[in-house]
Amino acid sequence: TFTAWCNSHLRKAGTQIENIDEDFRDGLKLMLLLEVISGERLPKPERGKMRVHKINNVNKALDFIASKGVKLVSIGAEEIVDGNAKMTLGMIWTIILRFAIQDISVEETSAKEGLLLWCQRKTAPYKNVNVQNFHISWKDGLAFNALIHRHRPELIEYDKLRKDDPVTNLNNAFEVAEKYLDIPKMLDAEDIVNTARPDEKAIMTYVSSFYHAFSGAQKAETAANRICKVLAVNQENEHLMEDYERLASDLLEWIRRTIPWLEDRVPQKTIQEMQQKLEDFRDYRRVHKPPKVQEKCQLEINFNTLQTKLRLSNRPAFMPSEGRMVSDINNGWQHLEQAEKGYEEWLLNEIRRLERLDHLAEKFRQKASIHEAWTDGKEVMLKHRDYETATLSDIKALIRKHEAFESDLAAHQDRVEQIAAIAQELNELDYYDSHNVNTRCQKICDQWDALGSLTHSRREALEKTEKQLETIDQLHLEYAKRAAPFNNWMESAMEDLQDMFIVHTIEEIEGLISAHDQFKSTLPDADREREAILAIHKEAQRIAESNHIKLSGSNPYTTVTPQIINSKWEKVQQLVPKRDHALLEEQSKQQSNEHLRRQFASQANIVGPWIQTKMEEIGRISIEMNGTLEDQLSHLKQYERSIVDYKPNLDLLEQQHQLIQEALIFDNKHTNYTMEHIRVGWEQLLTTIARTINEVENQILTRDAKGISQEQMQEFRASFNHFDKDHGGALGPEEFKACLISLGYDVENDRQGDAEFHRIMSVVDPNHSGLVTFQAFIDFMSRETTDTDTADQVIASFKVLAGDKNFITAEELRRELPPDQAEYCIARMAPYQGPDAVPGALDYKSFSTALYGESDL
């Protein structure tokens, strides 16, 4: 038995013994056996064949045995060298006891008692097996078969064994152990059966081999389970990290594409094109942006959940790749909203500008057309040299006519100045058709200068012949002088009555109606002036007829005939009711707009304060947090549903706001809330309740993962809230120190206390923000009160799987771990570079430390 036991270990070193008392005499194989079973190096042996060399080698082995706390009584090196079989066997038994049996520990029993208790526990469920000792309890062989079947049931058909056939039972167990368990056959079945009391030492030696074989398999299974658990956590975290990176990249790319569109300030030429831009912007606010708001909120929730899981599994915090931090997303989002706000304001200003431009351009065209119609033929008339052949009376008439023309010319000066001023304003407002406006304006100004020059030249010519003038028809002159300004007044009235107008408030349209009513009040006086002018013309005709004077035809001093005056007066009478109708229509439109303003204001003045009240209530809920975390979570989710159920009120407000924008209403004095304020408040409300729910969920994760009781969580919350004086959800350094002191931490104001406080602050506030959140406080307290896996524990587990080697092979990983986790390790473990490396050796130590952030994976 002892020979087989020794060979089972020496085989690992590539050697064997045949006779214990002979093969151990030189001490060489004895030292080799001790190195194999202890895993330690003994002093270098002496290779000489002299007796003194052998004695020295045996003494080195005996000294090593004694160093392990074994007392060697009456065993000397000389007896071993001399081949004393009794002493040699005693020494081997001592080695077996120390290295194979002494370290066995089962339920606070060790060595022989521990081995016996282990056998009893393992064979207890089997019939006909009652292990009470290490001799007769094993004679029938059933105990050996029961041990094997308990650990490897597929190797033994236990139900087919018979108690009355001990030799078959023993041989079956010995053969199975040697073939499948690598336990050499140390006993002989016939010797055991034929001996009244089998040798106790032989039985113990053989049974200890079973203990070590099965104990090693159990350790390997435990180690594999630990590694699987650690790797599963790591794989899940990596999936979460990849999902975050992908979602963050997509959101940042959308923001990157959207901001240039919002920052594009190139104005369009027409109102229709700008209104299309406004419609595109509305689609962006209603259709494209809301899903991105939800994605941003979900991304923050996923990031916080991932960080909580990493902290709970004692992993390093997740650091997204450069440019994909939550702060980067928030900065990009803030830039987006700034661009969005400026874009809407720019669109509205551009639409107002284009409306103003269209109004001015139409006004320019009307005034220019009237002026061009008036100047038509004037240059020809001023260049006409009719005075060269005219009579004296004709000359006088021509002078008077020219004076009337100059009066008319002066009356048109204001219109020319107005045309130039409008053209200048169109240029300043960057009107798209400024070139044609400038060309037309320049032509009018050049023609006006020419008329002034021609008028001056004709006056000089007429004045040269003024001495020849004697008579003049005073009535015609008076008619001309009064008809010309009246005609000019009528043209101005027609121009005003046809003038376009743009108003935005009820007050503005009422001002226009008041001005129009004032104009209508002057019509009776104007009518009397018209009748007086016509009376002058009739009186001139009456005098000419009564005195038989033959008039040459039309009034020589003016081209404004009574027919023209009557025609224009009739035109004025037609335009007045049209103007009335246009003003009333605009008044109705403005009244409708006022109704839209009041309707929107009524709803906004309800929704706005409601959102503000809910924000304040959420703030109080997040501070008070009464009841269990599950109750708090249920309450918050119920609260969130009540907020979501309020969304139809916001949709109604959006519909009313769209009607206001379609009506081009730009201000509302009935409310301080704009749709932008309401949208931002609603988005902040949804984000705040979602974040608060996420905080409670993370606290539940922390509580469950760390085994923190509800009472502890309430104590932590009560302590935190007590020192959170401003109810801001975070503690300053001094508040946090006072909180720690109240919980029993020694962080008083001395050197040791300050050092401990700085250590704790570096854990709860790694970014040195100067604030400690409740989640960071809970994480710290959970780490202080619970235990987690460490890198050293994972390294120890891998060492068990590697058979105590400093490296592990891919074959060993595939044998001990599930396929997906084995391949996960193989793909990430670096090659082992130690002096004892073999081809394909993998470094499990650096891999384990990298899992916990202690090195780079």
pLDDT tens digits, 254-289: 888 887 877 676 666 666 666 667 677 677 778 888
Q: Are the CB atoms for 112 and 87 separated by under 8 Å?
A: no
**Quick one: average pLDDT of 797-819?**
87
Per-residue pLDDT band at 856 (split at 50, 70, 90): very low
Q: What SS3 class is residue 186?
A: coil
Asked if pLDDT for residue 788 goes beyond 60, the answer is no
Phi and psi, residue 445, nearest 5°: -65, -40
Per-residue pLDDT band at 472 (split at 50, 70, 90): very low
| 65-69, 288-292, 719-723: range with highest mean pLDDT | 288-292
Three-state SS annotation for 232-260: HHHHHHHHHHHHHHHHHHHHHHHHHHHHH
* 81, containing H or E segment: helix 77-81
CA distances, 782 to each of 229, 688, 774, 776 (Å): 21, 25, 12, 10
Asked if pLDDT for residue 857 goes beyond 50, the answer is no
The pLDDT score that the predictor gives to residue 109 is 62
First to last CA, the chain: 49
Tens of pLDDT, residues 345-362: 766 777 677 677 677 777
A 10 A CB-CB count for 615 gives 14
pLDDT, mean over the chain: 80
Cα(571)–Cα(565) distance, rounded to whole angstroms?
A: 10
Per-residue pLDDT band at 843 (split at 50, 70, 90): very high
Q: Are the CB atoms for 562 and 625 separated by under 8 Å?
A: no
Largest CA distance in the chain: 185
Q: What percent of the chain has pLDDT over 70?
A: 86
The pLDDT score that the predictor gives to residue 549 is 46
Q: Which of 349-363, 418-432, 587-601, 634-648 has the lowest mean pLDDT?
A: 349-363
Q: Are the CB atoms for 705 and 681 separated by under 8 Å?
A: no
User: Which single residue is written with the structure tokens 């406006």?
Assistant: 437
Q: Are the CB atoms for 119 and 147 separated by under 8 Å?
A: yes
Tens of pLDDT, residues 21-71: 777 777 777 788 777 777 788 888 887 778 777 777 878 878 777 777 667
Tens of pLDDT, residues 566-584: 898 999 888 889 888 888 8
**Quick one: average pLDDT of 214-230?**
67
Strand partners of residue 732: none
Better-predicted residue by pLDDT, 59 or 155: 155
Better-predicted residue by pLDDT, 600 or 666: 600
Tens of pLDDT, residues 359-406: 777 787 888 888 888 888 888 888 887 766 655 577 778 788 888 888
Better-predicted residue by pLDDT, 705 or 793: 793
Per-residue pLDDT band at 764 (split at 50, 70, 90): confident
Per-residue pLDDT band at 557 (split at 50, 70, 90): confident
Q: Are the CB atoms for 462 and 402 separated by under 8 Å?
A: yes
The pLDDT score that the predictor gives to residue 377 is 85
Q: What percent of the chain has pLDDT over 90?
A: 6
Asked if pLDDT for residue 172 goes beyond 80, the answer is yes
Length of the chain in terms of residues written: 857
**Quick one: average pLDDT of 775-801?**
73
Per-residue pLDDT band at 143 (split at 50, 70, 90): very high
Tens of pLDDT, residues 474-529: 777 787 888 889 889 888 888 888 887 777 777 877 888 888 888 888 889 888 98
Dihedral over alpha carbons 281, 284, 290, 294 (to 10 degrees): -120
Both tokens of 632, joined, read 């708090």
User: Which single residue is written with the structure tokens 């960057």?
Assistant: 430
CA distances, 395 to each of 388, 391, 435, 451, 556 (Å): 9, 6, 45, 21, 10
Asked if pLDDT for residue 705 goes beyond 60, the answer is yes
Quick one: CA dihedral 563, 566, 572, 573, positive or negative?
Answer: negative
User: Which single residue is written with the structure tokens 């073999």?
Assistant: 838
Q: Are the CB atoms for 600 and 673 separated by under 8 Å?
A: no
Per-residue pLDDT band at 473 (split at 50, 70, 90): low
Per-residue pLDDT band at 146 (split at 50, 70, 90): very high
User: Which are the contacts of 709, defined by CB distance < 8 A and separation ≥ 6?
Assistant: none
Cα(25)–Cα(48) distance, rounded to whole angstroms?
A: 13
The pLDDT score that the predictor gives to residue 841 is 92
Tens of pLDDT, residues 326-350: 788 888 888 878 877 776 776 677 7
The pLDDT score that the predictor gives to residue 609 is 92
The angle that helices 392-411 and 474-497 make with each other, rounded to 10 degrees, is 20
Environment class of 506 (CB within 10 Å of its CB; exposed 0-12, middle 13-18, buried 19+): middle
Strand partners of residue 731: 772
Q: What SS3 class is residue 831?
A: strand
Between CA 75 and CA 79, with CA 78 as vertex, the angle to 5 degrees is 55
User: Which are the contacts of 507, defined by CB distance < 8 A and separation ≥ 6?
Assistant: none
Strand partners of residue 730: 773
Asked if pLDDT for residue 464 goes beyond 70, the answer is no
Q: Are the CB atoms for 310 and 239 separated by under 8 Å?
A: no
